[in-house]
Amino acid sequence: MIKDFKQNSYNPGDLVYASANPTLKLIIRRYIDTIYYCKTPDFPDRKELVYFEREFVPNPELIEKNNKNRTV
């Protein structure tokens, strides 16, 4: 029997917020080996920030918006 599972919930280009700093907007740039590399669109000269998926704030509205942007 094959289990069908989704490896990651977010794709490059998705908007997310981290639980450590929920006011900072993050854009996922890439996903490698369960690690998300994020840029801050408000501060493009800053270094990339690195997060695990569990460190993101689960926001159903953002997830729905990201899903809609993927299908377009």
**pTM score above 0.95:** no
Q: pLDDT digit string (tens) for 29-61? A: 999 988 999 999 999 899 999 999 999 988 777
For the chain, domain boundaries: 15-71
Residues across the chain:
72
CA 19 – CA 56 distance, rounded (Å)? 5
Report whether pLDDT(4) > 70: no
Strand partners, 32: 35
pLDDT above 90: percentage of residues in the chain:
54
| Per-residue buried b or exposed e for 24-43, using 16+ beta carbons within 10 Å of the residue's own CB | bbbebeebeeeebebbbeee
